Amino acid sequence: MDADTIKTAVRMFLEGIGEDPDRPGLVDTPDRVARMCEEIFAGIGVDAAQVVRVIPMPDHDEIVLVKNIPFYSLCEHHLLPFFGVAHVAYLPAGNRMCGISKLARVIDIHAKRPQVQENLTTAVADDLMRALDPRGVMAVIEAEHLCMTMRGAKVPGSKTVTSVVRGIFRENPTTRNEALRLIGAKPE
C-alpha cells in the first residue's frame, strides 16, 4: 500500500469538499486515514483460500455451519461502509475439514476490500469450494449499506440479503432447506 499517495489524495479530497486541510482538527487526518487503510483494506491481494488449512477428520457427513459472523466492508461505488453478519455452511467431502475459525477468517479477508455485497458472497463461497473441495457450500450475507441509509434512498434499517449456493446446496433442496433452517431463514 502506498501511504504517501493516500495522504496526498486525502488532502486533495479535503480541499475538494471546501475544507481547510491545515486546520488543527484535520491536519493529521491524511496520516490517520493512510494508517487506517492498512487495516481496513488488509484483504487486498490476499488469497483467502490459502489460509484454510485442510484438517483430515473421520468421515463427517453433516453440515458444518458458522452463523452470525460479524463483518465490516466498504462498497466500491461510494466507499461507504456496509456491515452485518455472514453465515457460512459447508458439507465436507471425504475427510476434508477445516478449523471453524478459518471460515470467519475467509469472511474477514474478503470483507477488507472495496466491493459489492454480491461479489463478497460469491468470493467466499468459491474460495471455500477451492480450499476444501467439499460436497457443497452455502454463504448468506445480511448487511446494512450506509450508501443506502445515510444518502440516496435513505432507507434506514433496510437489510440486503445475498446468498450463494454451490454443489449439493444448489442441487438438493432438502440439504439447502436444512442449512436455511439452521441459519434461521425461512426455507423455500
Residues in contact with Zn ion by CB under 5 A are 75, 77-78, 147
The x, y and z cell numbers of residue 106, run together, are: 475467509
User: Is the CB of 112 or the CB of 176 nearer to Zn ion?
Assistant: 112
The whole-angstrom separation of Cα 120 and Cα 96 is 24
CB of 76 to Zn ion, least distance (A): 8
Taking the least distance from each CB to Zn ion, the nearer of 11 and 110 is 110
Q: How far is the CB of 115 from Zn ion (least distance, A)?
A: 10
Q: Closest CB to Zn ion belongs to which residue?
A: 147
Burial of 157 (0-12, 13-18, 19+ CB in 10 A): exposed
**DSSP assignment string, 105-150:** HHHHHHHSSEE-HHHHHHHHHHHHHHHH--SEEEEEEEEEEHHHHT
Cβ 78 to Zn ion, closest distance in Å? 4
Q: What length is written for the chain?
A: 188
CB of 15 to Zn ion, least distance (A): 24
Please count the CA atoms within 13 angstroms of the CA of 160 that sit on its side-chain side: 17
Nearer to Zn ion, 83 or 129 (CB): 83
Would you say 3 or 147 has its CB closer to Zn ion? Answer: 147
Element (H, E) at 31: helix 29-40
- Measured from the CB atom, is 78 or 170 closer to Zn ion? 78
Nearest to 89 by CA among 120, 62, 49, 52: 62
Amino acid in position 166: R
**Least distance to Zn ion, CB of residue 113, Å:** 14
